[in-house]
Structure 1
Amino acid sequence: MIEPRLIILQPTPYCNINCSYCYLGHRDDKRLMTREVLEALREKVFRRLSPRSAPIVVWHAGEPTAAPIEWYEHAYGRLRDVAPSQTSFAIQSNGIAIDNRWIELFRRTNTNVSLSVDGPQRFHDARRRTRNDKPTWHLAIGALKRLQEAGFDPSVITVLHTDGLHYPEDYYAFYREHRITQISFSVDELEGANKSSSFAGRDFKPALTDFLVAILERAYCDGYPLHIREVERIAQRLAGIELSDNEQVEPWAALVVAADGSVSTFSPEFMEMEAPAYDNFVFGNILEGSFEEFTERPAFLSASRDIADGIEACKKSCRYFLVCGGGSPVNKLSEKRDMKASETDFCRLTTQASADALFGLLSRRTRTDGFRVRTFEGGWNGNVHRHPAAFRF
C-alpha cells in the first residue's frame, strides 16, 4: 500500500514554448495521457489511498494546458470521486494558453494555479521564448491579470539566473506592482536536458543570500505580505511547526506518472534523467503490474539504497540537515554523478541560501523587533516559538 503525499501527473510531455534552460528532453512529444492510463490511476492509486490521507495532485511537466480542456473534464470525473476528500489539485503553467475557459475549469474543479514568471520583463523575456523566438512575458502577465480578476491568487515560480542577482529591488517592485504575494525561487540548474548553468564555476551563495535578504527586508519594511516558499518553510520548521518530511528521499512519498503510464518516485525530475543503472528511474508502468512489484525491482532497490546512503552523508556533514532532510537526489546525480553524495551547488543555492537569508533578516531586525538569533552551529533561540506567523511577511 503506497501513500504518496505528492502526486505529479503529466497530461502531455509537449510544451508550447521553448525556454533556454528547460530540463525537459521530450517537450516536442505531443502524446496525450490515454484514458487507459487514467483508469489505471483511478484503480491502482486513487481508489487505494487511505481516506485519511491528503495528497496534493499536480498537473505538471511539459505544459499542462497543451492538453484539451475536455481531457481534464474527463480526468477530473474519473479521479475525484474515488480520491480522499482532503485531496487537493494544482496546475503548474506558463500561462500562455490560459483564458476564461481555463479559468472556469479551475473554478469548477477547485484547482490551485501556479504560474512560471521569471520576474521583470527583461529577465523573463531573455530566456522564456515562444517556439518562433518571440517574448512571452506579456502573455504570462495577461494570464496573471485574468486569474486575479477572477478571484484567484496564483503563486509564481521564478527561475533565477546570475544576471538578476544585482537587482532585488526590481524583482520586489515587480511582485508588488502585479500583486503577487506567493513566490518560489528556483535556480538555473544543471539537470536533464539543461547541460549548463549560469551558476557553474563560482560560489554564488553569498550573492543569492543577499538578494533574498534585500527582498525580504523591503517586504518587511513595507508591510507587504510576500511569502517566499523556501524561506517560509524553514521558518516554520524552526518555529516547531510540524511539516512533512523531504518527499524526494522517501520512497513513494512523491509519485510521478508520465503520459505513457511510466511510474517513478523520489525526485520528480528523475523522469528526465538518463541513468541505465537505475533503469532511467522508470520503475514500472501503471498499465502493467502493481506497485508491490515495482518496489521489488532491482533498479528501485538500488536507487533506494543509494539515496539512503546520501541522506546519511548529509546528516553527518551538513549543519542544514534539520531544515533539509537529505537534499535532492536528482541534483546529486546531475552534479556529482553519485546519489550517495552530500552537498550540491543546488543545495547551497536553495536550502542554504534561504536559511542564511532568514537569519540575515532576523539579524537586521534584532535591534528594533527584539529577536534573539544564533547561527545553526549554536542552535536556535528566539521569539519565533511564540510568534510563528511573524514570518508571513
Structure 2
Amino acid sequence: MWRPVLIVLQPTPFCNISCDYCYLRNRDDRTVMSAEVVGAIRDRVFPRMAADAAPTVIWHAGEPTVVPLAWYRRAYVELRRTAPAQTHFSLQSNGIALGQDWIAFAQETDTQIGLSIDGPQAFHDARRKTRNGKGTWSHAMRALRELKASRIDPNVVTVLHPRSLQAADTYFEFYRDNGITHVSFSIDESEGGHAVSSFDGDDQREAMAEFLFSLLRRAYLEQYPLHIKEVERIAAILAGGELHNEQIDAWDVLVVAANGDVTTFSPEFMEVRSRPHHDFRFGNILSDDFETILDSALVARTQAEIRRGVDRCRAECRYFAICGGGAPANKMQENGALDTAETNFCRLSIQPAAEAFRRFVRWVREGREQRRVRGREVIVQEVATQEIA
C-alpha cells in the first residue's frame, strides 16, 4: 500500500508579496484550485493510501491565504472524508492576511501553521517586500503575536543571506525575544524563476556552520529551547534514528498544482524546466488515471536517473549517511542532470548543519570536562586545607 510522507497541495500559484528570491514562475497567476481538483484528490488520490499512512498535507505554493478561508473549510471537510486518520494538515504563510479567522480555523482543524520570517527587521525587509516595494516584517510580526496569543507556536522559516551569517547573535536575540522556538533555515537557491543565488561565488560553508553553531551555543548557555530543524534532523539520525530521504523515491512526496498537474520527488519540480522530463509534470488528476500516473514510464525513468545520482553521492560524499542522496530538483537546476552529486544546496544546508552539530557536541563535552577538572581541584584544595588544619 502507498504510504506517502508529504503531500503538497497548491491552492493557487498567486502570491500577494514580491520576495527578491522567489522561485515561483507564475506568482501573478490568480488561478484557484477548483472543486473538481479537490474532488479528484478526495476520490482518486487519498483512497490509494494505506489506512496506517501518516502523511503531512501542506497547503503551499504561492500564498495560501489569498484564497478565501471558506474555500479551505470546504476543502478540509472533503479531504477528511477519505484521508487516513493519522493525516496531519499544515499551512505555510507569509502572515500578511493571517488573522483571527485563520487562527480559529487552524485550532478547529488542528492545522499546523508555518510562518515565513527572515529574522530581524533589517534582514527581512531587505528582501521580503510588498508588491509596491515596502517591507513586510511588521505584518509577519503581527501574525506571530496573534498566533502566540492564541497559544499556537508556529514553525518559522528563515531564508538567509550571506550578510546574515555575520549576525548570529542578532538572530538569536530576535528569536529569543519574540518567543520563537522552532526555526528552519534556507538559502535563496538558484531554482525555478530565481536564476542566481546571493550565495553563488564564494564558499560560505564555514560561515554557515559557524552561524548555526553560534545559535546552538547561545541557546545552550541561556537555556533557551531553540529547535533548529536541520540540526535536529541530523542529531536524530546519529542517535539511531532512521535515515529517510523522501525526495529520492517516487511518490513519497506528492505535489498537486492548482490545475491538477502532478509531480513527485522534489516539491520544487513544479518550477523546474526539462523537456526530456516533460517539465516533471507526470500527469493530471483530472484527465489521467491516477494509477497510470503512479506507474508511468516517465516516472520510472526519472527514478532511475535519480538513483544513479544517489549512487554517486554514496560513493563521493562523506555526508551521505546523514543526507541520503540530496535533492533532485537542486541537482537538475544547478548541475543540469539528475544523475549528479553535490550541489550548493548540499554545501550550504546539509554540510554546515552537520559541522555545527559536531562542534556543538565537542564544545559541550569539553565544557563538562573542564567543570569536572575544576570540581576535582576544589575537592583536593579542601582536603589539603583540612589536613593542614
> How would you bin the TM-score normalised by the shorter chain?
over 0.9
Amino acid at match of 2:183: I
Does residue 1:261 correspond to 2:260, yes or no?
Answer: yes
Does residue 1:213 correspond to 2:206, yes or no?
Answer: no
Amino acid at match of 2:103: I
Q: Structure 2 vs 1, CA of residues 138 and 363 (structure 1 numbering), >3 Å: closer, same or farther? A: same
Report the number of matched residues: 370
Q: Aligned with 1:23: secondary structure?
A: coil
Q: Structure 2 vs 1, CA of residues 282 and 80 (structure 1 numbering), >3 Å: closer, same or farther? A: same
Contact 2:15 2:63 in 1 (8 A): yes
Aligned to 1:380: none
Post-superposition, which runs of at least 4 consecutive aligned residues in structure 1 deviate over 4 A?
Answer: none
- Could you tell me how far apart the structure 2 residues matched to 1:365 and 1:235 are? 14
Contact 1:13 1:26 in 2 (8 A): yes
Amino acid at match of 1:34: S
Q: Deviations over 1:83-119 (max 9, x none)?
A: 1111100001001001111111111111000100000
Unaligned runs of 5+ in 1: 372-393
Contact 1:59 1:91 in 2 (8 A): yes
Aligned to 2:47: 47
Aligned to 1:169: 169
Q: Deviations over 1:3-24 (max 9, x none)?
A: 2110000011000000010000
Amino acid at match of 2:154: P
Q: Aligned with 2:166: secondary structure?
A: coil
Aligned to 1:82: 82
Does residue 1:22 correspond to 2:41, yes or no?
Answer: no
Amino acid at match of 1:78: E
Q: Aligned with 2:54: secondary structure?
A: coil
Contact 2:169 2:214 in 1 (8 A): yes
Deviation for aligned residue 1:296: 3.9
Aligned to 1:322: 321
Contact 2:45 2:290 in 1 (8 A): no
Deviation for aligned residue 1:370: 5.5
- Could you tell me how far apart the structure 2 residues matched to 1:271 and 1:169 are? 36
- Could you tell me how far apart the structure 2 residues matched to 1:153 and 1:2 are? 31
- Could you tell me how far apart the structure 2 residues matched to 1:370 and 1:96 are? 48
- Could you tell me how far apart the structure 1 residues matched to 2:91 and 2:275 are? 30
Q: Aligned with 1:248: secondary structure?
A: coil
- Could you tell me how far apart the structure 2 residues matched to 1:368 and 1:135 are? 42
Deviation for aligned residue 1:366: 1.7
Structure of larger gyration radius: 2
- Could you tell me how far apart the structure 1 residues matched to 2:10 and 2:196 are? 25
Quote the sequence identity (%): 49
Contact 2:59 2:90 in 1 (8 A): yes
Contact 2:42 2:81 in 1 (8 A): no
- Could you tell me how far apart the structure 1 residues matched to 2:337 and 2:55 are? 30
- Could you tell me how far apart the structure 1 residues matched to 2:285 and 2:294 are? 13
- Could you tell me how far apart the structure 1 residues matched to 2:369 and 2:349 are? 27
Q: Aligned with 1:37: secondary structure?
A: helix
Aligned to 2:375: none
| RMSD of aligned alpha carbons | 1.2
Aligned to 1:303: 302
Alignment of 1:98-109 (within 5 A): 98-109=98-109
